[in-house]
Chains A and B, each alone.
Chain A
Amino acid sequence: QQQVKQSPQSLIVQKGGISIINCAYENTAFDYFPWYQQFPGKGPALLIAIRPDVSEKKEGRFTISFNKSAKQFSLHIMDSQPGDSATYFCAAAREGGGADGLTFGKGTHLIIQP
């Protein structure tokens, strides 16, 4: 059973455009939603994270939008740059629960064309 569904699987955006990646979760016990960025040959690295007490969080060009009632959250990358080309993973965890790690989406391969 896939608890975090991520779409699209791949995405091509022109330089300067907005990249949007969506995730939906099933487990209402999840209360921590991070996004990880992974470059080829490297491990994932935390990009930005949100908790369900806020509907939006912005850090530079990266914004998470969170809709608790719809059990959905999304990553927006404004003014997308070629250096943003990477694989992005959404994830969810029960921060107040056990130490059983993160449940990841299947990833989105993002390509920013110059």
Chain B
Amino acid sequence: NAGVTQTPKFRVLKTGQSMTLLCAQDMNHEYMYWYRQDPGMGLRLIHYSVGEGTTAKGEVPDGYNVSRLKKQNFLLGLESAAPSQTSVYFCASSWTALNQPQHFGDGTRLSIL
């Protein structure tokens, strides 16, 4: 059972480039989340989805877009990468918000030069 899989695991971008981070879960979870983790800042919610075809903004959504075209996948896009977006990105999923816990992937380490 793979759980939550994130691809890629590492990526280096130049300022202004675009890319998409992919999250896939095989637990049939309804809810999916994208967080960023920065030193001394804990994890902060970027966007989340309560089901296929739905998305919503979290605490720090600026500069990111998301899509949930299939229940098992949640994509995070950076249209024009900025150095401030250098971070470790974590995807998580859960059955519902009423039934925690959230299951996390192992992260994507993204550097913007």
A interface residues (Cβ-Cβ under 8 A, vs B): 6, 9, 32, 34, 41-46, 49, 89, 93, 95-102, 104-107
Residues of B within 8 A of A (CB): 4, 31, 33, 35, 40-45, 48, 50, 56, 58, 90, 92, 96-98, 100-102, 104-107
Q: State A89–B101 Cα separation when bound (angstroms).
A: 14
* Complex interface: chain B residues within 8 A of A95 (CB): 97-98, 100
Which chain B residues border A43 with CB–CB below 8 Å?
4, 90, 92, 104-107
For A105, the closest partner residue in chain B by CB is B42
Is A101 touching B90 in the complex (CB atoms < 8 A)? Answer: no
- If A34-B100, A43-B4, A100-B58 touch, does A89 touch B42 (CB 8 Å cutoff)? yes
Is A100 touching B56 in the complex (CB atoms < 8 A)?
Answer: yes
User: By DSSP majority rule, is chain A's interface helix, strand, loop, or mixed?
Assistant: loop
The CA-CA distance from A87 to B48 in the complex, in Å, is 24
The contact of A101 among B41, B58, B96, B107, by CB within 8 Å, is B58
Closest 10 CB pairs of A and B: A43-B104, A46-B101, A99-B97, A104-B42, A101-B45, A106-B42, A104-B43, A99-B50, A43-B106, A101-B33
Q: Smallest Cβ distance from B5 to chain A, in angstroms?
A: 11
Min C-beta distance of B105 to chain A, whole Å:
5
A44, A98, A100, A101: most-surrounded residue (chain B CB, <10 A): A101
CB neighbours (8 Å) of A104 from chain B are 42-44
A43, A89, A95, A97: residue with the most chain B Cβ atoms closer than 10 Å: A43
Given A97-B97, A100-B56, A102-B100, 4 extra CB contacts under 8 A: A32-B100, A99-B97, A102-B45, A104-B42
Which residues of chain B have C-beta atoms less than 8 A from A32's C-beta?
100
- B58 contacts which chain A residues (CB < 8 A)? 100-101
* Cα–Cα, bound, A24→B88 (Å): 25
With A42-B106, A44-B90 known as contacts, the answer to whether A99 contacts B42 (CB < 8 A) is no
Q: Do the beta carbons of B104 and A44 come within 8 Å of each other?
A: yes
CA distance A97 to B105 in the complex (A): 24
Complex Cα–Cα for A49 and B42 (A): 18
Distance in angstroms between the alpha carbons of A34 and B94 in the assembled complex: 14
